[in-house]
Every structure is written in C-alpha cells, then in structure tokens.
Chains A and B, each alone.
Chain A
Amino acid sequence: MRALCVQRSCLFYNFNCEIMDIMNRTKIVFETYSTEETAKIAFQMAADAAAGQVFALIGDLGVGKTVFTKGFAEGLGIDEPVSSPTFTILQIYEEGRLPLYHFDVYRIEEPEEMEEVGFDEYVYGDGVCLIEWANRIEEILPDDTIYVVIEKDLGKGLDYRKITVVRPGEGS
C-alpha cells in the first residue's frame, strides 16, 4: 500500500491511505493490489455503515464493482450470494445487520425512471443502499451520499485499483 501526495497520511481499516478535507467533504484515497484487498475495504465500510446511508459505487466495466459489492454484503453479515441487479434494477437482502438495497442503474436512461422503483423509499429509508453506476442518476442522490469511485491504472499493474471514498463532513 503506498501513499499519494494529498493532505495527510493515516491508517484506515489497516490500509495506508491519504485523507483530504475538501469542500465540506472528506476524501480518502486507498490503493489496493488485489481483489481481496478491495473486498476487505468494502467489508469494513459495510461493518461501519449506519442505517440510512447511501453508497454510490462508480467505476467502469471490469473495475471491480462486483468484488466490492460482495465484500460489502459480507460486511453486513449477508451470506446469501449477491446477484447482479442489472436487469432487476434493485435487489433487496434482509438477513444482514441492516437491510441492503442493492441497485444497479446501468440500464436507467432518465433519473425519473427511478420513481417507478420507489427509489426514495429506499434511499431515505432505514437500510443501507449500494448503487452501482450511481453516476447515471447523480441528480437524485441524497446530499449525504457516500461516493466510492474505483479506477484502474494499468501502469501500476493489472490488479491495481485506486479507490476514492468521498464522505460528507470533515475530519473523518
């Protein structure tokens, strides 16, 4: 795990990372070198998640959103296999510590379509939402959405991922 040149280094979830306070939000940048490491971060985030939180999971095809999601579900204590909601848009898991509302909005063309799914009831509800491709419906995400952006950098290896987590509030 290596450091990038931003505000301060620290240990978060046992990963070295960089934390920066920016525009009323806290940005944490992790670097991972394997799917296990990515899943570990997801696991921890889920274990710390509070009811009502919304996680926007953003990244291109093949970047590891599914790996992240599976780690996340495990972190909530969900043993059931997590299947892709690409066609169903929403999949609900109730047996974890908190209900998990797993969205995949890849197929959504207009944010208005999300009304049909009852989006507001989940996103302002008592569970945890994880929304893949959330950038497609950014306009209707709650203000305190936590962004998780996963990027590759082939110059750093095939398995390298840069995971940027942006949370509302400062001084995480």
Chain B
Amino acid sequence: MKILAIEASGPVAGCALLEDGTLTAEYSVQYKKKHSQSLVPMLNEMKEMLDLDLSSIDFIAVTAGPGSFTGLRIGAATVKGLGLALDKPVLPVPTVDSLACGLYGTDCVICPLMDARRQQVYTGIYENKDGLRILEPQCVTALTEITGKLNELGREVIFLGDGVPVNEEALRDEMKVPYLIAPAHLNRQRAASTAVRAAQIYAEKGEEALVSADDFRPEYLRVPQAERERGDKRNYKVFV
C-alpha cells in the first residue's frame, strides 16, 4: 500500500510517502513562504528523490480541516489536481486527529490546540497509547471550554500545535491538572502523521474512507460569524 500525504492545513507545508508501513520520505517546512509556492516544488523533489512513479500510489491523504482557509484551499487544490490527473482517490484526514497521532505510547491525554484566532482554538481530546482513541472529536471552541473538559478528566495532558504559544498564559491560568507541552519536533502538523493516520483509517473503513478528487472538499469547522460575535455592535458613526 502506497500512500502519498499532503500537509498544508497550518503553518507547516509538507508531503510524505508511506509505503507498506515504511515512511520512505517526509518533507516539511515551516516558513513564511506561502504553501502555494512551496508545496509543489517539495513534492517534485520528493518524487525525484524516491524515483517515484506517481501512478503507483493507491491514494492521496490530506489534512482536510480544520485549519487556515488559504492553507486548506491550497492543500485541497493540490490534492484534487493530482488526483484528477492520476485518477486516484483522496483520503481526507481530520487535521486535529492527525496532530494527535504525532504522539504515541503515552498515558497522558493528548490535546492539540490550533490557533483559530478571535480567542478560539481548533481542538480535540485523544488517547494514543497503542492506537488513536478519540475522547472529544475535533471542534472549534473557546480555550476555557477545552480546559474545563480536561480539568474534569483529571489526567495529565500533553498539548501541541500552533495554538499553544498564543494561549500559554491562559493555559497557566486555566489548567488545574498537570500538563506538558510537546517539544518542537512533535509539536506541529506532519505529513508523516497524516499518512499514518490515513493508513489506520483505511484499515478500519476501507473504500468508504475514500472520496473522488472531484468531490473532495475541505472542512472548515467554522462557527457562523453571527453566532460568534457577542458584546457591543460597533458603529463607526458614533465617532464621526
């Protein structure tokens, strides 16, 4: 089974190839260059490095959301383009699940935090001792909501994701249970995690997990703005 994975949902641009349980390549860049500029050259380099015949892959895995709008769109466009050209299907992987997969063999509860701005995070609660277990499926919510749930669970937590630095102080204030923050090499999205998670999903659900390149759409998970806005409705005319 040959799985090509693409990562563009957040600050990391990446691609990886998982071949019969071996990660033959993983490329990853977290730099200000836009994913639209880095993804395809990266893929091309990987292809050259591996002497890869793209038509030999079984499907293309991609973190399908949530994440940054532009990132998700770039990932989706890349994957759809490839899928259409190669006539291969797509296996969408929930972003937060993929993040959680980056940690393994721990008794801690795993809580990825992705910055959703406006004081919100994309998050979820997982276990990954010897297989991913979803305790709280991925969602978009205020940080205090998720810390509330973690405090209730009463277990040690590992946090990871680009939502951690932005919320570091709030975590210190809100968390009543002990917690760790994953180190840099385990702290962000990885195409390798996406590939591995995709293999797990495929093992579980088979063809049902696949979607045609044509039909694939990112999943943004945004709460409608009207619900999000609370408090004073601004009116510039007050000042003018």
**B239 contacts the other chain (CB 8 A):** yes
Identify A139's interface contact among B117, B225, B239, CB under 8 A.
B225
Contact between A27 and B70 (Cβ–Cβ < 8 Å)? Answer: no
- A112/B239 contact (C-beta < 8 A), A118-B70, A139-B233 known: no
- A166/B225 contact (C-beta < 8 A), A115-B69, A124-B117 known: no
**B203 contacts the other chain (CB 8 A):** no
- Distance in angstroms from A34 CB to nearest chain B CB is 22
Contact between A121 and B69 (Cβ–Cβ < 8 Å)? Answer: yes
Per the bound structure, the CA–CA distance linking A110 and B73 in Å amounts to 21
Within 8 A of B (CB), among A83-114: 110-112, 114
Contact between A115 and B70 (Cβ–Cβ < 8 Å)? Answer: no
Contact between A118 and B69 (Cβ–Cβ < 8 Å)? Answer: yes
| Chain B hits for A135, CB < 8 A | 236
**A73 contacts the other chain (CB 8 A):** no
Q: Is the interface of A mostly helix, strand, loop or mixed?
A: mixed
Please, which residue of chain B has its CB at the minimum distance from the CB of A58?
A: B236
Contact between A147 and B118 (Cβ–Cβ < 8 Å)? Answer: no
Identify A149's interface contact among B70, B224, B240, CB under 8 A.
B240
Identify B226's interface contact among A27, A58, A112, A117, CB under 8 A.
A112
Per the bound structure, the CA–CA distance linking A32 and B238 in Å amounts to 22
Contact between B69 and A166 (Cβ–Cβ < 8 Å)? Answer: no
| Chain B hits for A138, CB < 8 A | 233-236
Please, which residue of chain B has its CB at the minimum distance from the CB of A117?
A: B69
**A152 contacts the other chain (CB 8 A):** no
Per the bound structure, the CA–CA distance linking A56 and B239 in Å amounts to 13
- A149/B236 contact (C-beta < 8 A), A118-B69, A118-B70, A120-B117 known: yes
Q: What are 9 pairs between A and B in contact, CB < 8 Å? A: A23-B238, A23-B239, A25-B239, A56-B236, A58-B236, A114-B225, A138-B233, A140-B229, A151-B240
Residues of A within 8 A of B (CB): 22-23, 25, 27, 56, 58, 110-112, 114-118, 120-121, 124, 135, 138-141, 147, 149, 151, 164, 166
Task: Given contact pairs A112-B226, A120-B117, enumerate 9 new A-B contacts (beta carbons under 8 Å).
Answer: A121-B69, A138-B233, A138-B236, A139-B234, A147-B239, A151-B240, A164-B239, A164-B240, A166-B236
